[in-house]
A and B are shown apart, each in its own frame.
Chain A
């Protein structure tokens, strides 16, 4: 048998075990996507609750409930940011099994852990996003009679979410890579699959090289998609001037806004009504 080169091994591994890599990558993405989305929602809810203002005229019950809730959330954030996800995985998966006889399947446990862990980070990221919004936006929303919830959902969060998209993208990319620690509870994600392939093919370097390339393709694709979403959310920089009773009648008007330049026909009077 002639000596195989590096690329021969890579080719052989891909053609023989490609299916295992693919299903591992699929599981990795499933956990990363679900975990990031659920974590993002946890982050939003925690941040909304933590920013509820306490006013002097609020009743005692509300003050106490908020205080307890804030304490619980602070502990949650500290604990899950302050311990490794690998340790959390062992505790949740084996701990629940031993102590409470709750037998989660590894995939469910994996999604649960990534979600809770991401939630802790996202809570802080969302809080930062909310604090970055000008105080005047809160004032204006309160001044027209919006409640805290209405202020958050209509005014603050749409702006805050745009501002924290890059940080959220970071979390997503980290999650794609960090699902690899879930191999300790035998979730068959990409790293686990790679280890299995290595055990059969007995080539460590080439097998993990393939895994590395797959991880890179996954994270690169995700960052490009997020960048696209950011651009979409920023919207077009131009706008149309409508026909108005207070403006001279023009047939055609050109608006320059930022980098785009648009020409648009004015709606005539009959269009408006």
Chain B
């Protein structure tokens, strides 16, 4: 299996606070990887570093064998190939649902309007939001916004999709609709890296679960091993608390 991104010895600090303390890890094509861990463990920072929304201080992020942290690397092109779904949806508030899904294709990928529209419609249909193409984000519910955000990311036809706690800002009754879309995507073979607190998703849908604590990767294994047979004491404790809570 070949890697989409491979990370070597990644460090990131905010001021004196070291958030990532040497991360080594990779995501392979077709894999669904879940990043779990308590708040402040550095999972979201790792995801944002991978997409270059934060700039790692040290280490390498290899994409097709090239280090994206190298001077002069075309960051915008790289980002276009990795989709991102945010906790707070971050739909473009000034644009309709359809325009949210076409603007990137037209401006970044230089597709023509009609082609962009067709691709956008395909993915909006996939997430069940094709009826709302004329709506503005402020008129949608949280779950609907997140589904549009997923369609927007898919419309760029990325090599992998990164999810940063996609259901954490949702009302409980809306978590299901987003989770269902994500499960369908996983089943379709999309490469996904998901930061999540949804343990059921990690256990049932992912191929691999990565447990992070205090800026390091503690355990990286198939879900069955992590959930039934965690090797590390910290993993055991976290899972115990997580399962009690959810």
Contacts and interface: CB of A to CB of B under 8 A. Distances in A.
B72 A146 contact: no
A148 to B, nearest CB: 9
Contacts of A243: 131
B53 A242 contact: no
B108 A145 contact: yes
Interface string A122-147: 00000000000010110111111111
A239 B144 CA distance: 15
B90 interface: yes
Contacts, number: 111
A242 B121 CA distance: 12
B152 A56 contact: no
Nearest to B87: A136
Contacts of A147: 76
B111 to A, nearest CB: 13
Given A140-B91, A145-B156, A244-B130, A57 B73 contact: yes
A59 interface: yes
Given A136-B88, A140-B92, A245 B125 contact: yes
Given A55-B55, A136-B90, A239-B136, A143 B130 contact: no
B92 A246 contact: no
A51 interface: no
B90 A140 contact: yes
Contacts of B133: 242
B124 to A, nearest CB: 9
A57 B131 contact: no
B16 interface: no
Contacts of B83: 143-144
A53 to B, nearest CB: 10
B93 interface: yes
Contact of A242 (B91, B93, B130): B130
Contacts of A141: 92
Interface of A: 55-59, 134, 136-137, 139-147, 150, 154-155, 158-159, 162, 235, 237, 239-247, 257
25 contacts: A55-B75, A56-B55, A57-B55, A57-B73, A57-B75, A140-B86, A140-B90, A140-B149, A143-B153, A144-B83, A144-B103, A144-B153, A144-B156, A145-B79, A145-B104, A146-B76, A154-B92, A154-B103, A155-B103, A158-B94, A159-B94, A239-B136, A240-B134, A242-B132, A246-B131
